[in-house]
Structure 1
Amino acid sequence: MELAVAGGANIEVSDRVFGREFSEPLVHQVVISYLAGARAGTKAQKNRSDVSGGGRKPWRQKGTGNARAGTIRSPIWRTGGVTFAARPRDFTQKVNRKQYRSAIKAILSELVRQERLVIVDELKLAEPKSRLARELLDGLGVATGLLIDSEPEGNLYLGARNLRGVFVLAADRLDPVSLVSAEKVVMTRAAVEKIQEWLA
């Protein structure tokens, strides 16, 4: 299939990458897995066995007028342990390589169908200025979105980082969450070729 290039000749792309059917369950699974993998899982709290002290009964069972107590480390006591203490966890969900690549293809294909994918010859700025980046995007009719190049230049990174809702990504760092959440995706010819080579 052919895709239009802004201000240039059309580009031939693979139907297997940009013409695939959209599978919502697959994309959902891959997105959830990607987000889960980004969780640190390092939260930890102490339960009653981890808190120091509490080796003996604080007072006798009867005759003091106080409530019965067996340890000063009870969860209902100040400085006591936490009832359901958090533990370090690994939140990663396994998604094999074939599923991941299929989800990326499905997302790219859906971007084409919804006319949210814009292909250009190159993404370059003469200077690292936000004004130039804004003018570049306005010329493409893009307010916010994701800019993808095979090897983004430094001026593009510096010029676009101060624009709200605009992100720059290298083609080999492509991820499902960035693609799904972007209003528009602007991609260079070189990026398209690199992504096709990866997903073919």
Structure 2
Amino acid sequence: MQINTLDSKKPVTLNDAIFGREFTEDLVHQVVTAYRNAGRAGTKAQKSRSDLSGTTKKFKKQKGGGARHGDYRAPIFVGGGRAFAARPRSFEQKVNRKMYRAAVATILAELNRQERLKVVDAFDVEAAKTKLLAAKLAGYGLGRTLIVTDTGTEALFLAARNLPHVAVLDTASVNPVDLIRAEHVVVTVDALKKIEEWLA
């Protein structure tokens, strides 16, 4: 399988085992969900009646006054504890390495089929100016774009910071969420080879 580069129009050979995979929606959904859940803090906490300060004295007699109550910290009263209080917890889901790599390969293959994967020989800007990067992307006819490069200078990363729909990653930071979110994915030839080595 071959794909033409945007700048030189030279064909680049793609690994069929990676870029020819069928799209597996269930696998991608599981991996994306696990990836996003791993970023959740899980620090939400509420106070139950046992966590509140205050007296535990029974405020009225047991019989003759209507409903039976113990103390004012019961959830039924204003200022009382929460009936089913939230506790800090981890949202982490286990996804093994083989599944994660398979999901990334599946997404890349689907991007290639939809012609949303673009390959360039190199991608950089002369100075850390947002308008330079915006003009370069407009020249390629690209909008919401993820740029994957290992040879980009600091100027490229700085130029992309003020563009809300443009992100720059190195190959070690490629993840399924950013790949799915992008309308187009621009990958340099060197980065493409490293990705193929990683997923092979």
What number of residue pairs does the alignment pair up? Answer: 199
Aligned equivalents of 1:124 and 1:184: distance in 2?
A: 17
SS of 1:119's equivalent? Answer: strand
Structure 1 counterpart of 2:28, one-letter code: V
RMSD: 1.5
Partner Cα separation in structure 1 for residue 164 and residue 40 of structure 2? 25
Alpha carbons 1:42, 1:88 under 8 Å: kept: yes
Quick check: 2:56–2:70 contact (8 Å CA) kept in 1?
no
User: Secondary structure, in 3 states, of the residue corresponding to 1:6?
Assistant: coil
Aligned residue number for residue 5 of structure 1 = 5
Letter in 1 for 2:198: W
Post-superposition offset of 1:82: 0.6
Quote the Cα distance in structure 1 between the aligned partners of 2:145 and 2:124: 16
Contact kept? 1:148, 1:185, Cα under 8 Å: yes
> Residue 158 of structure 2: SS of its match in structure 1?
helix
Residue aligning to 2:179? 179
The aligned counterpart of 2:19 is 18
Q: Which residue of structure 1 aligns with residue 87 of structure 2?
A: 87
**Residues 42-191 of structure 1 correspond to what in structure 2 (within 5 A)?**
42-62=43-63, 68-191=68-191
Instruction: After TM superposition, give the deviation of residue 197 of structure 1 in Å.
Output: 1.2
Q: State the distance in 2 between where 1:151 and 1:82 align.
A: 54
CA contact (8 A) 1:120 1:189 kept: yes
**How far off is 1:159 after superposition?**
0.8
Query: How big is the shift at 1:79?
Result: 2.1
Q: Provide TM-score, normalisation by structure 1.
A: 0.94
- Give the distance between the partners of 2:46 and 2:127, measured in 1 at CA: 50
Structure 2 gap segments, 5+ residues each:
none
State how far apart, in whole Å, the 2-side matches of 1:154 and 1:66 are.
73
CA deviations over 1:85-141 (Å, ceiling 9, x no partner)? 101111111111111100100000000000001111111111100110011101211
CA contact (8 A) 1:152 1:169 kept: no
Q: Give 2:176's aligned amino acid.
A: P
- Percent of residue pairs bearing the same amino acid type: 49
Give the Cα separation in 2 of the matches to 1:182 and 1:7.
20
CA distance, structure 2, for counterparts of residue 54 and residue 114 of structure 1: 66
Q: Hey, what's the Cα distance between the residues in 2 that align with 1:36 and 1:152?
A: 30
The CA distance in 2 between the partners of 1:70 and 1:15, in whole Å, is 70
Shift of 1:142: 0.3
- Which segments of 5 or more consecutive residues in structure 1 lack a partner in the other structure? none
8 Å Cα contact 2:142/2:184 also seen in 1: yes
Q: Give the AA of the match of 2:155.
A: N
Q: CA separation in 1, counterparts of 2:104 and 2:30? A: 12
How far residue 67 of structure 1 moved from its aligned partner, in angstroms, is 5.5
- Counterpart position of 2:197: 197
Match for residue 39 of structure 2?
38
Scaled by the length of structure 2, what TM-score is found?
0.94
Tell me the distance in 2 between the aligned counterparts of 1:17 and 1:124: 26
